[in-house]
Structure 1
Amino acid sequence: MGLVTQTSAELPLLGAYEVSFSLNRFVKFIGPGLLMSIAYVDPGNLESDLQVGANAGYSLLWVLLWCTILGYVIQMQAAKLGVVTRRHLAEHCRQQFSPVLRYFLWVMAEIAIVGSDIQEVIGSAIALLLLSRGAIPLWAGVLLSVSTSFLLLLVERWGVTKLEALFGVLISVMVCSFAVMFYEAHVPLGAVAEGFLKPSIPRPAIGQAVALVGSLIMPHNIYLHSALVQTRALRHDDEAHKKEALVYYGLESALSLLVSVFINMFVTCVFAAGFYGKALQDIGLENAGQYLGEAYGPAMVYVWALGLLAAGQSSTMTGAYTGQFVMTGYLQLKISPWLRILLTRSVALVPALVVSLLTRNNSDSTALDELNQWLNLLQSVQLPFALIPVLAFNGSEALMGKFKNGRAMTAATVVIAVAVMLINVSGVLAFAEAALSGVGMHVWAVVAVGMALYLLSVGYVFLHSTAAAGLLPASIGWLAEEPGGGSSDAFGGGRFRRVPSRAVTPAGNLLGRSPAGSQEDLQERLLQESGAGEDAEEVVVLEGGEQGLSSLGYGASAAGELEAGGDEEAGGHAAGDSSRQQ
């Protein structure tokens, strides 16, 4: 028996819930938040961390902390959407949006995933170069990164809990490696405390602050978290069970992101202690090992490389998960996880391989670091296309029922979203100004047109997301009408399409591989074994691949569409007349 206490748990944007906290029960929910937090310590983040430390010292540690807190709020919006509706963000976008918008959002999500994958390839290749003392050149390390992806797939075949354990090991390697660096660098703790407690942004460090925001809050992570939370068995006919799940997921995510804060802090502080205020050339992942060796000795190079390799490899599988969720959600297209990784990683290989080959004879090149910076900006640009829909869906009473965001919470999320997007756009403009200095007006004209198209795209997504969620004022409700009149199922001013509930993705099968045939075959077989009728409970596969039936209480009455404001309960929780549990 684990620790059981009665407590009132209050989490940001979730509310205060009375739950009986059980340590054993909490352990069963560990995993999704752990995988989600990996995006906060991937090679792209380490690139930003070391540049912040070298160029701004300890002054931006408070930005790191508050960006992580904002990221937690956004991630819990994604988790709440998945727990309450039992469908992840990509599935909701397919069901609620028109084909044009649906395919546009899918392309944007895939671009973000590929961009993140390129950073993982770069980080792993640099780590292999350092660990092999140059025996494995960058171009060879880029190619080797493909094989490591398939090795992780072999681990996944043993069950998702085994893979989650491996991620735990990789994160532990990062913590230990960077903690050793922090200790050996003799970082002044007083300066660290001041960096966290005294908000300030020196004018020369504005660029680093913006880059830090862009590298921490990533669009593909929103898709990932909304899907991962469905891998634990829940009684979805019971509101208390949903609240309990949200509390446990919220606690697990908070602890996981706290670990990420320490990892990012360790890296930032090491480079602040060693290089801030010194006349250095551009410093990044590509030459960080060289500078660390000169400042702290050769042993520090291997410690850094080990942590960097763990960051790159841990990010690999989460990218594969996200890609599969996005593809099946938007397109209802299921392909082999091996093929999915091969396609994604092949696209990611091209720019990394080209740059590494072109600079293989130039030991002072920072081309890969420049590519990393552009990729961080790419994530910033893509963020609104995932952030706006998830916030709009959480504000819909037709979809979320009693779990929808209230006015205060909606206002808070809107402020957060607008602030993050404005910071990201300003960062893109500042970076473009620096990168394009000295070019002709014709280039700036192209940039201006591109920015205008981007802002129009964001506005289009905003209007149709809020229209689908029923959040538009009645005075502009015509935006929810299809051409030719008539209310669209996709944009019908809050007329959310209620889709029949279905079995959640098996926890041991996150990449689409079914342990016993297709998902439909598995559900049919279990229903036959249970002797259940038409209103039978749905299939849930527990951690480790154990199969069973949860008392979901969703029956045939859940089929079809429920209009907002109809006779059904606003939440759309169409429970069956009875519930059974096996």
Structure 2
Amino acid sequence: MPKTLEGEIAADHAEHPTAANGAGATSVRHDRRTSVPRAAWLIGPALVAGVAYLDPGNVASNMTAGAQYGYLLVWVVVLGNVMAWLIQYLSAKLGIVTGRSLPEVLGGRIRSRWGRRAYWLQAELVAMATDLAEVIGGAVALNLLFGIPLIWGGLITGTVSIGLLVLQSRRGPRTFEFVIIGLLAIIAIGFTVGVFVAPPSPAGMLDGLVPRFADANSVLLAASILGATIMPHAIYAHSALSRDRFATRRGEQAGERGATGSGGAAPSGATGKIAWHGFGIRRGTDVAPELTPGTATAVPTDTLVRATKWDVTIAMAIAGTVNLCILLLAAVNLAGVEGTDSLEGAYAALGVALGPVIATLFAVGLLASGLASTSVGAYAGAEIMYGLLHVRVPLLLRRLVTLIPALAILALGFDPTTSLVLSQVVLSFGIPFALIPLVALTAKAGVLGRWKNHWATTAAGVAASVFLITLNGVLLWLVLTGA
């Protein structure tokens, strides 16, 4: 029984030789059920994308919500996680079926050059807001643990993220996944242990599931929680992670299909080699043509789509549980306590309430969160630029440029926690620009073929979009009116 991706491909080719030879690849039906070892090997991209749901912005938003309003906004965390499952599944499915990321697909469909630039600009601002939160969170964690000044902590966080990205580009997606999943485990432990030491009230949790707001500030925090939970850059990144994880075969299959789809010479630009994407690495097909839906990967598309559902379910279960634990930890231990409106104050209060071990674990979790999420954020930013503008900026240069806003905020002495919360509000406004095109594209048979959304899936995506846009509209009105 194959336990590697190569084994999966070899087994499939042996079982379906016509699919292996390219002719009639789209007509072969893979109805067998995926065995546990095979499915386990295919899990990973969603866990990496899921780190975006556990970044320092999430920590700041959930801690602030719990400290200020107790259990009131539990329903926002739960609702956000449910919507996140749907959104991340659609993003991953787009990357698997088409062999292209969401920015790539949009870059090919937005005909206007200025339209592409405008879309890129808002997406780039979202990526920079993400990076802002993650670098600041890492800097605060280093300050709490080792007393390192915030500005130097930001530089260290950025430097480590460069190392992780270089690891991804040189060792491939699978190694990168293992490292990020290891950091994810540290994050989960650091943020959940305190809940077991001081359990929340079951009655309070149930009461928090009733949707409602207390005042304008609770609406602001709800938008912040949703912006931190359903992060636009995670939508862009997940489609690219799925594409990178399962090597696309654009040149190979285009050459096999030929112009008529039944074989023939390879078209111009197709080299017949597997193409790996990400951070400027292009091997083989840099200008390969668009594939027929479902022919982008060497592993059967049905197998990948089934495995992706489990991948997303596991990732969102972890992210949702940890986010809920952060809010509950604050609701139980920080509600009404002076000085807990900042991460530094929350750390000190946790030390008093639960002891230095729990407080240290919290700070370690925050550090792991900053290091892991800033790497995924930089990955998303690079993909956004390439997919929409077809521009590859050297990794080191891009990392340095995106570090500047975060380092400037740290150097100028702005409150880190307030900066984190406001950055998540910016992310919330960027959600519709990623979500609406994603739902629209995955509903089209011309894009996903027989893997297009069921009408109920599209309806759920539309409902999520309407809810998020409405919430952002209310938030904007409250801000403009001074309410």
TM-score between both structures, scaled by the size of structure 1: 0.66
Q: Which letter maps to 2:140?
A: I
Aligned mates of 1:340, 1:219 — CA distance in 2: 19
Q: Which one of 126, 130, 133 corresponds to residue 112 of structure 1? A: 126
Structure 1 counterpart SS, 2:358: helix
Structure 2 counterpart SS, 1:203: coil
Q: Kindly indicate whether the alpha-carbon contact (under 8 Å) linking 1:381 and 1:425 is maintained by their aligned counterparts in 2.
A: no
| Matched residue, 1:224 | 237
Deviations 1:341-379 (A, max 9, x none): 2222234322333235xxxxxxxxxx2222222211111
| Matched residue, 1:382 | 430
2:474 counterpart of 1:426: yes
Deviation for aligned residue 1:71: 1.1
2:444 counterpart of 1:396: yes
Distance verdict in 2 for CA 1:260–1:71, change over 3 Å: same
Q: Which one of 261, 286, 293 corresponds to residue 320 of structure 2? A: 261
Aligned mates of 2:166, 2:463 — CA distance in 1: 43
Aligned mates of 1:311, 1:432 — CA distance in 2: 33
2:245 counterpart of 1:187: no
Distance verdict in 2 for CA 1:114–1:43, change over 3 Å: same
Q: Which letter maps to 1:401?
A: G
Aligned mates of 2:316, 2:172 — CA distance in 1: 24
Out of 208-217 and 226-235, give the one that drifted further: 226-235
Q: Kindly indicate whether the alpha-carbon contact (under 8 Å) linking 1:36 and 1:224 is maintained by their aligned counterparts in 2.
A: yes
Count of residues paired in the alignment: 408
Aligned mates of 2:150, 2:295 — CA distance in 1: 53
Structure 2 counterpart SS, 1:383: helix
| Matched residue, 2:160 | 148
Deviations 1:487-540 (A, max 9, x none): xxxxxxxxxxxxxxxxxxxxxxxxxxxxxxxxxxxxxxxxxxxxxxxxxxxxxx
Alignment of 1:325-364 (within 5 A): 325-355=383-413
Out of 388-397 and 163-172, give the one that drifted further: 388-397
Q: Which one of 310, 315, 318 corresponds to residue 376 of structure 2? A: 318
Q: Which one of 332, 336, 352 corresponds to residue 273 of structure 1? A: 332
Distance verdict in 2 for CA 1:193–1:129, change over 3 Å: same
| Matched residue, 1:54 | 67
Deviation for aligned residue 1:75: 1.4
Deviations 1:358-417 (A, max 9, x none): xxxxxxxxx222222221111111112211211221222322222223444333221111
| Matched residue, 1:493 | none
Q: Which letter maps to 1:115?
A: A
2:196 counterpart of 1:203: no
Q: Kindly indicate whether the alpha-carbon contact (under 8 Å) linking 2:138 and 2:154 is maintained by their aligned counterparts in 1.
A: yes
Aligned mates of 2:63, 2:481 — CA distance in 1: 23
Greater relative contact order, per chain length (Cα 8 Å cut-off, separation 6+): 2
Q: Which one of 285, 303, 326 corresponds to residue 244 of structure 1? A: 303
Deviations 1:247-269 (A, max 9, x none): 11111011011011121122111
Distance verdict in 2 for CA 1:22–1:376, change over 3 Å: same
Aligned mates of 2:333, 2:87 — CA distance in 1: 34
Aligned mates of 1:213, 1:144 — CA distance in 2: 28
Q: Kindly indicate whether the alpha-carbon contact (under 8 Å) linking 2:220 and 2:425 is maintained by their aligned counterparts in 1.
A: no
Distance verdict in 2 for CA 1:31–1:300, change over 3 Å: same
Aligned mates of 2:124, 2:379 — CA distance in 1: 12
Deviations 1:534-565 (A, max 9, x none): xxxxxxxxxxxxxxxxxxxxxxxxxxxxxxxx
Q: Which has the larger radius of gyration?
A: 1
Structure 2 counterpart SS, 1:329: helix
TM-score between both structures, scaled by the size of structure 2: 0.78
In percent, how many aligned pairs have the same letter? 31
Distance verdict in 2 for CA 1:28–1:54, change over 3 Å: same
Q: Which letter maps to 1:242?
A: T
Q: Which letter maps to 1:43?
A: P
| Matched residue, 1:99 | 113
Aligned mates of 2:350, 2:340 — CA distance in 1: 14
Q: Which one of 29, 50, 58 corresponds to residue 37 of structure 1? A: 50
Aligned mates of 2:296, 2:428 — CA distance in 1: 38
| Matched residue, 1:462 | none
Deviation for aligned residue 1:92: 1.4
Q: Which letter maps to 1:270?
A: L
| Matched residue, 2:276 | none
Q: Kindly indicate whether the alpha-carbon contact (under 8 Å) linking 2:61 and 2:228 is maintained by their aligned counterparts in 1.
A: yes
Deviation for aligned residue 1:290: 2.0
Structure 1 counterpart SS, 2:71: coil
Aligned mates of 1:207, 1:374 — CA distance in 2: 9
Structure 1 counterpart SS, 2:33: strand
Distance verdict in 2 for CA 1:424–1:221, change over 3 Å: same
Q: Which one of 119, 131, 142 corresponds to residue 145 of structure 2? A: 131
Deviation for aligned residue 1:316: 1.4
Deviation for aligned residue 1:279: 5.5
| Matched residue, 2:257 | none
Deviation for aligned residue 1:59: 3.5
Alignment of 1:427-576 (within 5 A): 427-431=475-479, 433-434=481-482
RMSD across aligned positions (CA): 2.5
Structure 1's unaligned 5+ residue stretches are 5-16, 357-366, 438-582
Deviations 1:26-55 (A, max 9, x none): 122222101110111100011111112112
Aligned mates of 2:178, 2:160 — CA distance in 1: 17
Aligned mates of 2:296, 2:116 — CA distance in 1: 32
Runs of 4+ in 1 over 6 A off after TM superposition: none
Q: Which one of 329, 333, 342 corresponds to residue 284 of structure 1? A: 342
| Matched residue, 1:545 | none
